[in-house]
Amino acid sequence: MMSTRITRRFQSLAEEGRGGLVTFCTAGDPDYDVSLALLKGLPAAGADIIELGMPFSDPMADGPAIQQASLRALKGGQNMVKTLDMVRAFRSDDDDTPIVLMGYFNPIYVYGVDAFITDAKAAGVDGLIVVDLPPEEEAELCLPATKAGIDFIFLTAPTTDDARLDKVLEHAHGFVYYVSITGITGTASASASDIEEACKRLKSHTDLPVAVGFGIKTPEQVGSVAAIADAAVVGSALVNVIADNIGDDGKATAGLVDAALGFVSDLANGIKGTVEK
Amino acid sequence: MSTPNTYRAGPDEDGRFGIYGGRFVAETLMPLILELEQAFDESKTDPEFAADMDRYLSHYVGRPSALYLAERLTKHLGGAKIYFKREDLNHTGAHKINNCIGQILLAKRMGKTRIIAETGAGQHGVATATVCALFDLPCVVYMGAKDIKRQAPNVYRMKMLGAEVRPVTAGSQSLKDALNEALRDWVTNVEDTFYIIGTVAGPHPFPAMVRDFQSIIGEEVREQIMAAENRLPDTLVACIGGGSNAMGLFHPFLDDADIDIIAVEAAGRGIETGEHAASLSAGSAGVLHGNRTYLLQDDDGQITEAHSISAGLDYPGIGPEHSWLHDIGRASYVSITDDEALDAFRLTTRLEGIIPALESAHAIAHVMKIAPDLPKDHVIVLNLSGRGDKDLNTVAMASGESFGVE
């Protein structure tokens, strides 16, 4: 397999003997500068992989927290060009931490698929998670992105049965994202035993690392999921910390970046705690 | 996709009409959508399903709906002969019930025990609440908060029928946002819930399925116009928001090359103002709500808000088959402003004693433009897709009059 930032990161996590922390925040929430400062601070705070949300007006798979984050970012003037600028700015200081862009297909489609792949690759994007592109639509973006060396990361869900799993995994790269509940982001949480069973099932179908997301909110949950899967994804809970540090005027308060990075450190400590045990 | 001599073969196996359509949904929903497609395909050849459909459409909905020669409107305009396909006479007052009967029978077939729907004007919500009462299934209807205000009578009807109406306060608080919220509910309750989509949009197989359930409109028109005129019509006209009443009328006639097919979008306050719902006249291709189609959006691919005085047309997208018919030129897509629709609403009410839905009034307004210049033997069939009782408050307010129920 070709060595990419994503494969190298999972390799080093395996060598450390611990699961990884994947953090999600929306690019440009609540504005470009604050969002970039947060992005740049994430690796030192303990994020092993960064998911950066491409804001969309109609985020159909997201709960209220990420919906609001998307709207704040768009109101702050964020667009696809700026999101790619942000990745480029991050890459000038950090050549190791993988960045995965996450969102919906329409902004990519309207940007132009070929132009997007070229520009995303040049900016230093490592992977893509596009919620509304199941394997049935792989010709749209998955196949051309993979050809260009960007990992297309597929979502699997509790409803993805064994027969379907092989189809989903056929063109999967980087890692597999397991959506641990049927539902939207930032709502219910799956039990550790359900996650364990699901990971076992996924591992019997693929050698790719498995990251588990949806409903993971606390350092304790991160610790328990990261002990079962290769990585735990935290999105809405981090986005809530951002929302809590936005003033009535819609602007970031002075403490936003520190508060968000402090929360990420706590999440990362949740993993270290389990390693020390 | 379609063989060269038919426009009626779509969609292909990937759910595409040309480049439009498809299945742009989250993985969680994908297995269910494939299961639905299979159930739908099986139902097509099941005589029991067909018999159930027939029974409910005849005795519950009241089909066939009349094809009525609007003599006074025809005389007033002084040109083409105008027929109304009276979908307003269906039980619940619009064409929406045709599709709901079909989908609730499928839901039962699939063993689903909970129904959800989105609604704009409330006609689809009422139709869904109605079949849920009939089949004794719990029903949740998502409706934009703005639409709840302007369609209060329908909201109360849904509640009377036992449905829970959940207001959607996100985004533009209208149909697009109700669809988002219904999709969020569906992905959360995927095991037991059937989502009755009200128009010819959404992921495959919905556009084809809703079209097939609505095609009874055009099929009846074929027979009825032969009985009345001994020939097929020259022109078909229907309004489009998502496009289900239009597709229902048009589809059985797509291969009759001599028939002029015209769909009427909502131009709101005027296309040039940017406050409209004319996805085909002023939008571009994009992906939303499970399908690729024409959308109102900015150059970053963010969906923009639609506007129409008619809640049922207030949607920034359109069914994918319409996008395809638009691109290949088989149907033409025009637009009518709020004011033109209001004029048509008033004229039809006074001349024919028929209060049309504001949605249908858009189609009438276009007929008012074209009929005077057409010869007297030119036959137009217009889909009078729904009745306008629900719109009286909106019309009164637009006319600066008091409705007396504030």
A56: chain B residues, CB-CB within 8 Å: 301-302
Residue type, B76: H
In this model, does residue A277 exceed pLDDT 50? no
How confident is residue A1, by pLDDT bands cut at 50, 70 and 90?
A: low
Domain assignment present for residue A209? The answer is yes
Selection from A238, A107, A11, A20 nearest residue B286 by Cα: A107
Which residues 152-191 on chain B approach chain A with CB closer than 8 angstroms? 170-171, 176-177, 180, 183-184, 187-191
Which of A62, A119, A138, A151 is catalytic? The answer is A62
| Options B37, B87, B118, B359, the catalytic residue | B118
Q: Classify residue A19: in a domain, yes or no.
A: no
* Nearest alpha-carbon partner for B68 in B224, B212, B205: B224
User: Would you call A115 an interface residue with chain B, using a CB distance cutoff of 8 Å?
Assistant: no
Question: Does the active-site annotation cover B81?
Answer: no
Three-state DSSP at A140 gives coil
| pLDDT of the residue at B323 | 98
Q: Whole domain around residue A117: which residue ranges? A: 5-12+25-276
pLDDT, tens digit, 9 for 90 and up, residues B82-136: 999 999 999 999 999 999 999 999 999 999 999 999 998 899 999 999 999 999 9
Supply the DSSP string of A38-79, one letter for each residue: HHHHHHHHT-SEEEEE---S--TT--HHHHHHHHHHHHTT--
Q: Does A171 touch chain B (CB under 8 A)?
A: no
Give B172's pLDDT tier (boundaries 50, 70, 90). Answer: confident
Tell me the mean pLDDT in the region B24-50.
97
Tell whether B13 lies on the interface with A, counting CB pairs under 8 A.
Answer: no
Each residue of A241-276: pLDDT tens digit?
A: 999 999 999 999 999 999 999 999 999 999 987 665
φ, ψ (nearest 5 deg) of residue A246: -115, 130
Q: Can you give A156-198 as a three-state secondary structure string?
A: ECCCCCHHHHHHHHCCCCCCEEEECCCCCCCCCCCCHHHHHHH
The reply to whether B96 belongs to the active site is: yes
What is the DSSP code (8-state) at residue A97? S
- Measure CA A147 to chain center: 21
Q: Which residues contact B229 (CB under 8 A, 6 or more apart)?
A: B379
Over residues A6-30, mean pLDDT: 97
Among residues A51, A119, A138, A230, the one annotated as catalytic is A51
Given a contact cutoff of 8 angstroms between Cβ atoms, the answer to whether A6 and A126 are in contact is yes
Q: Are B50 and B243 in contact (CB under 8 A)?
A: no
Residue A63 lies in a domain: yes
Q: Which fold has domain B23-57+96-210?
A: Rossmann fold (3.40.50)
Partner-chain contact B22 A161, CB within 8 Å: no
CA distance A6 to A175: 8
Using the predicted structure, report yes or no on whether residue A2 has a pLDDT greater than 70.
no
User: 3-state DSSP call for residue A127?
Assistant: strand
Q: How far is CA A257 from the centre of its chain?
A: 19
- From the list A58, A136, A154, the residue facing B288 with the nearest CB is A58
| Confidence check: pLDDT of B403 > 80 | no
With helix as H, strand as E and coil as C, how does chain B read? CCCCCCCCCCCCCCCEECCEEEEECCCCCHHHHHHHHHHHHHHHCCHHHHHHHHHHHHHHHCCCCCEEECHHHHHHHCCCEEEEEEHHHCCCCECHHHHHHHHHHHHHHCCCCEEEEEECCCHHHHHHHHHHHHHCCCEEEEEEHHHHHHCHHHHHHHHHCCCEEEEECCCCCCHHHHHHHHHHHHHHCCCCEEECCCCCCCCCCHHHHHHHHHCHHHHHHHHHHHHHHCCCCCEEEEECCCCHHHHHHHHHHCCCCCCEEEEEEEEECCHHHCCCCCHHHHCEEEEECEEEEEECECCCCCECCCCCCCHHHCCCCCCHHHHHHHHHCCCEEEEEEHHHHHHHHHHHHHHHCCCECHHHHHHHHHHHHHHHHCCCCCEEEEEECEECHHHHHHHHHHCCCCCCCC
Tens of pLDDT along A161-195?
A: 998 999 999 999 999 999 999 999 999 999 999 99
Which tokens sit at B114? 């909970």
- Return the CA Rg of chain B: 19
CATH of the domain at A263: 3.20.20.70
Q: What's the mean per-residue pLDDT of chain A?
A: 95
Q: Which residues, 6 or more positions from B153, have their beta carbon under 8 angstroms from its beta carbon? A: B122, B389, B390, B393
In chain B, where are the structural domains located? 23-57+96-210, 62-93+214-398
Confidence class of residue B406 from pLDDT cuts 50, 70 and 90? Answer: very low
ipTM: 0.95
Residue A159 lies in a domain: yes
The neighbouring-strand residues paired with A256 are none
End-to-end CA distance of chain A: 33
Q: Which CATH fold topology does B62-93+214-398 show? A: Rossmann fold (3.40.50)
pLDDT of residue B3: 53
Q: What is the pLDDT of residues A196-245, one digit of tens each?
A: 999 999 999 999 999 999 999 999 999 999 999 999 999 999 999 999 99
Q: Which residue in chain A has the smallest CA separation from B180?
A: A60
Does the beta-carbon distance from B301 to A160 stay under 8 Å? no
Strand pairing of B290-295 and B284-288? antiparallel
Tell me if B41 sits within 8 A of B33, measured CB to CB: no
Tell me the pLDDT band of B152, cut-offs 50, 70 and 90.
Answer: confident
- Which chain B residue has the Cα nearest residue A116? B300
Which percentage of chain B shows pLDDT scores above 70?
A: 98
B284: contact with A, CB 8 A cutoff: yes
Is residue B215 among the annotated active site residues? no
What are the pLDDT digits (tens) for B304-363?
999 999 988 989 999 999 999 999 999 999 999 999 999 999 999 999 999 999 999 999
Judge whether A18 lies within some domain. Answer: no
| A85 vs A29: CA distance, rounded Å | 15
∠ CA(A99), CA(A103), CA(A107), 5° rounding? 110
Neighbours of B257 (CB within 10 A): 9
Compute the mean pLDDT over every residue in chain B, rounded to the nearest whole number. 95
Per residue in A83-92, pLDDT tens?
999 999 999 9
pLDDT of residue A19: 97
- A83 occurs within a structural domain: yes
What is the DSSP pairing of strand A231-234 with strand B16-17? unpaired
State how many domains chain A has.
1
Report pLDDT digits (tens) over A133-142: 999 999 999 9
Residue B341 pLDDT:
98
Q: Does A63 touch chain B (CB under 8 A)?
A: yes
